[in-house]
């Protein structure tokens, strides 16, 4: 089943690389001193990598939104009442113990429903709330002389910085969980092959 069009796969790959670069450079900026050496070439180089990757991520995110609107892929993120209840509960039970007991997937992947109810809620939160807030807070931190900072003072900058770190942590945890669930497919590694070939389960 051809599930992932070329633009989604390309965006997915670019986004994954950008997020990894942002995580590594962000961690270095957070915990290393300004004079500490690193594989990235030092603190200043890490800041540069972080800023450049952030700018490309903004462009990538805009392409993601436009692509969803034009292609209709955005329908996969629409949450309906039945997705919340009983959908999320059924899917959670399956992930907690059902799949280990040989249960059938309660919401099999189809062309009409790419995501199960739990995925819909999580992806909607990450892509349409957490990531936009991460980008906005990053823009504020990138330009500390912005009018909004001068109006609210240094307290606004500190709060924005904390928010940015928390959102970065949430997205980092999402990435780890996302990679783990990609190992749960019809065959070992099939979901990874799927995002490369475009065919769900890796079957062409």
The answer to whether residue 53 sits within a structural domain is yes
* Strand partners of residue 2: 199
Look at residue 147 in the predicted model and tell me its pLDDT: 64
Asked if the structure places residue 21 within a domain, the reply is yes
Number of domains in the chain: 1
1 found inside a domain: no
pLDDT one-digit tens code per residue, 58-96: 999 999 999 999 998 999 999 999 999 999 999 999 999
What is the domain extent for residue 38? 6-202
Question: Residue 204 — pLDDT band, cuts 50, 70, 90?
Answer: very low
Q: Could you tell me if residue 107 is inside a domain?
A: yes
pLDDT in tens, 126-183: 999 999 999 999 998 888 777 666 666 777 888 899 999 999 999 999 999 999 988 8
Q: How far is CA 117 from CA 75, 99, 111, 130, in A?
A: 13, 16, 15, 18
Structure confidence at residue 36 (pLDDT):
63
Domain with 124 in it: what CATH number?
A: 1.20.950.20
């Amino acid at each position: 089943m051809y599930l992932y069009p070329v633009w989604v796969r390309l965006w997915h790959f670019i986004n994954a690389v950008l997020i990894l670069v942002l995580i590594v450079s962000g961690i270095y900026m957070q915990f290393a001193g300004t004079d500490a050496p690193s594989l990235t070439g030092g603190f200043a180089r890490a800041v540069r990598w972080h800023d450049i990757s952030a700018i490309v991520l903004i462009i990538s995110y805009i392409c993601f939104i436009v692509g969803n609107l034009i292609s209709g892929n955005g329908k996969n993120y629409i949450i309906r009442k039945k997705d919340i209840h009983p959908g999320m509960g059924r899917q959670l039970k399956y992930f907690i113990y059902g799949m280990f007991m040989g249960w059938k997937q309660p919401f099999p992947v189809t062309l009409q429903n790419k995501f199960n109810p739990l995925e819909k809620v999580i992806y909607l939160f990450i892509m349409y709330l957490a990531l936009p807030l991460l980008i906005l807070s990053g823009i504020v931190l990138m330009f500390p002389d912005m009018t909004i900072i001068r109006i609210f003072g240094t307290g606004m900058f500190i709060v924005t910085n904390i928010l940015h770190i928390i959102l970065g942590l949430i997205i980092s945890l999402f990435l780890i969980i996302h990679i783990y669930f990609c190992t749960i497919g019809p065959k070992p590694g099939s979901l990874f092959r799927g995002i490369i070939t475009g065919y769900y389960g890796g079957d062409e």
